[in-house]
Amino acid sequence: MPKKSSNWLFFGVALPATIIFTGIASSAWWLWASAAPSSFGSKIRLTITDGMPTQAIAQELEAAGVIRSSLALRIWLQWQTLRGSNAGALRSGTYDFMTNQPLSEVVGKIQSDQSTEVRFTIPEGWSIAQMASLFEAQGFFKAEEFVLAAQRTSPRRRPWIPEDLPSLEGFLFPDTYQILPSEATPDRIIDLMLDRFEQVALPIYNEDQSGNPKNKISLKDWVTLASIVEKEAVLESERRLIAGVFWNRLKQNKRLESDPTVEYGLNIRQTREKPLTLSQVRTESPYNTYLNEGLPPGAIASVGLASLKATLEPANTDYFFFVARYDGSHVFSRTLEDHEKALQEIDKKIQQQTPKQ
């Protein structure tokens, strides 16, 4: 009888009391852990890097005083997952947090990518003029301010910058960048892009040229030639082939005869419906590779890694000519006669496909 009484006492009184007490304690802890760390709105700026684990993010937020408990943040995310919420993952960026924000607001800010920094993306093949227009459209500064800043090519800016550059065209590496609005000045953005070139592109050049390079070339000429490859190549499968054609022509002192160089020099853009005219091709310009031998004075566009690498490792080919089909692909030829035939066939197809007025 005493034993049964003891069991009844435990299951009838002690266990429910323990459950109730645990529930109250857990609720009290959660109310504390999910609340704002402070009633005063102090600002704390933190950067969440790409690929940063959730646990590391939570610990950094707790250590900085943005949230009270890293465990609470992980529990909150688990709860969102269990209830099928589409709130999303924690996103990288630089954020301004207030110490009087509760946990839900902190997490919501990071999930909705309300980053304090602004992002901008420069695609491969863009010119400085196109970049400048983007920055003006985003409200950073006037386009001409960026163009002028990009003309300051003193080696004091970076010791590896080649001499006698007309501008930093080609050396402003195409990528996605983040910057604080207060720091979005032409020089600051140029510094970011030069830093990326130095980190990503320059080691590839130095490693290639310091060994037994397939083709010896200066840094300036490498970027210039790669920029022409960038503007000509559409299909990845043709990139090294196009580079090989240009190398073949350079080695035999043949003019490159590249349309994009003419377009750059005249600040125009040809299309299938409105190709370059004979008059435009014959217009004098330092960038006109139909009239001038060798490479132009500088690059004609930003250059991605694929074109930079293709220029150092061109395909072994006996082609000397290519012409665009206007579908991204090209017809490659070994002789001028075959090239002219390809030109005629493509022109004929374009005329057949063009609606009559």
This prediction's pTM: 0.74
Average pLDDT, the chain: 87
What confidence tens digit (pLDDT) does each residue in 234-281 have?
999 999 999 999 999 999 999 999 999 999 999 988 887 788 889 998
DSSP-H helix ranges across 197-327: 202-210, 219-232, 239-251, 259-266, 278-281, 305-312
Among residues 190, 180, 98, which one has the least CA distance to residue 152? Answer: 190
What confidence tens digit (pLDDT) does each residue in 82-97 have?
777 666 678 887 888 8
Q: 247 is written with which tokens?
A: 């190398």
Least confident of 77-86, 126-135, 226-235: 77-86
Q: Is the pLDDT of residue 1 over 50?
A: no
Do residues 239 and 229 make contact, with C-beta atoms less than 8 angstroms apart? yes
Q: What is the pLDDT of residue 86?
A: 64
Of the pLDDT bands very low, low, confident and very high (cuts 50, 70, 90), residue 356 is low
